[in-house]
Amino acid sequence: MRITIRFSRLFMAVAFGASQLAIPIGAPSQDASFESHWQDGRAEMAGYDLTISRYGQDREGTAVMIFVTEPFSESKRVKADDPSENPSDTFEAFKLNFVRDFQTGIYDYNTMTSVFTHSADFEPAKISFTSAEWCGHVYEEQLFYPNEVSHELFSYFEGESAETTLERPANSVAEDNLPILLRGLRGAYLEPGGSRRLTLLPGAIHRRLAHLPVNWTTAEITRASGLTEVTVPAGDFSCVAYTVQTADGRTGKYFIEDAYPHRIVRWSWTSSGGMAGEAGSLTGSERLAYWRLHDEGDERYLESIGVTP
């Protein structure tokens, strides 16, 4: 998992020059704080108290966001085992694994959304989603190209599995990428008081729980002019507040820690028209090489992110 600064700069120059993907508003091409913070061989793990609507009732659960850099194959769209084998095909990805677990009566839901972005500009390369519960399981994958998005869904429901290719508008954002974009890890996504209208690809878990097909909608993202003080189980934070208003009537709110590394302190999506909403509050965070912490007793590290095994 360890990626040196020398490796990342080499492959960003090669891969991102070929990708011709635009840098988001307000984000400079390089920021020393990103390299020094995110290329230290560790991942950021953040735990959250989760509330999510399912079957018309609010369910309590746990969420974990894991952010990490790793080498990624442009052609295969998977983590590269050996970047030196094909350096021109390898770039540094900034990845989010977003895990949500919650109970619904007798059975539970275990879901994960994985977002793989180019670490130079946080443009998505791949988004995958899994949902497993006692009735069955679902896998969904989206591959992002400059002009289109390839989407494939495998479902245990008859008639729901599908392959779709969507035209990708120039000014478009994937909802599942917002937890990365709004953190402003290379510069603020919007200036204070600023707003941006765009085309939005609704998030996988929203579409899953509402059984909606994949399709674009429109949205406006607004940043509050000042800072907001937020209290969560992890403590008190001075936050930048973003509001996302979608054309289908949903409202998302993200409260981002003002100080670097701009952790997500709280987020919420309101319920509209019977569609699922959710909210999460930070319980703790830690930077660890978690992939090595798989032995008996390593469960104790979960305490530092406020999660109970």
Check residue 11 and give its pLDDT: 40
The answer, yes or no, to whether residue 274 has pLDDT greater than 80, is no
Q: Which residue has the higher pLDDT, 158 or 3?
A: 158
The Cα 139–Cα 175 span in angstroms is: 18
Longest Cα–Cα distance in the chain: 51
Percent of the chain's residues with pLDDT above 70: 88
DSSP the chain: ----HHHHHHHHHHHHHHH-PPPPTT--S--HHHHHHHSSS-EEEEEEEEEEEETTEEEEEEEEEEEEEEEEETTT-SB-S-GGGSGGGEEEEEEEEEEEEEEETTEEEEEEEEEEEETTT--EEEEEEEEEETTEEEEEEEEE-SSEEEEEEE-SSTTT-EEEEEE--SSEEEGGGHHHHTT-BTB-SS-TT-EEEEEEE--HHHHHHHT-----EEEEEEEEEEEEEEEETTEEEEEEEEEEEETTS-EEEEEEESSTT--EEEEEE---TT---EEEEEEEEEEE-GGG--STTGGGGGGGGT---
Long-range contacts of 161-164 (CB under 8 A, 24+ apart): 162/213, 164/213, 164/214
Residue 19 lies in domain: 5-305
Compute the half-sphere exposure of residue 58: CA atoms within 13 Å on the CB side of its CA: 12
The answer, yes or no, to whether residue 16 has pLDDT greater than 70, is no
The Cα 151–Cα 155 span in angstroms is: 13
Total domains, the chain: 1
pLDDT band at 228; cut points 50, 70, 90? very high
Residues 232-273 pLDDT 10s: 999 999 999 999 999 989 999 999 999 999 999 999 998 766
CA neighbor of 102 nearest in space, from 127, 131, 141: 131
Q: Which amino acid is at 162?
A: A
Check residue 271 and give its pLDDT: 73
The answer, yes or no, to whether residue 79 has pLDDT greater than 60, is yes
Q: What is the pTM of this model?
A: 0.88
Residues 113-145 pLDDT 10s: 999 999 999 999 999 999 999 999 999 999 999
pLDDT band at 9; cut points 50, 70, 90? very low
Q: Across residues 187-196, what is the average pLDDT?
A: 97
Residues 30-60 pLDDT 10s: 445 899 999 999 999 999 999 999 998 999 9
- Arithmetic mean of pLDDT over the chain: 89
Q: Which residue has the higher pLDDT, 168 or 5?
A: 168
Check residue 309 and give its pLDDT: 84
The Cα 258–Cα 223 span in angstroms is: 13
pLDDT band at 276; cut points 50, 70, 90? low
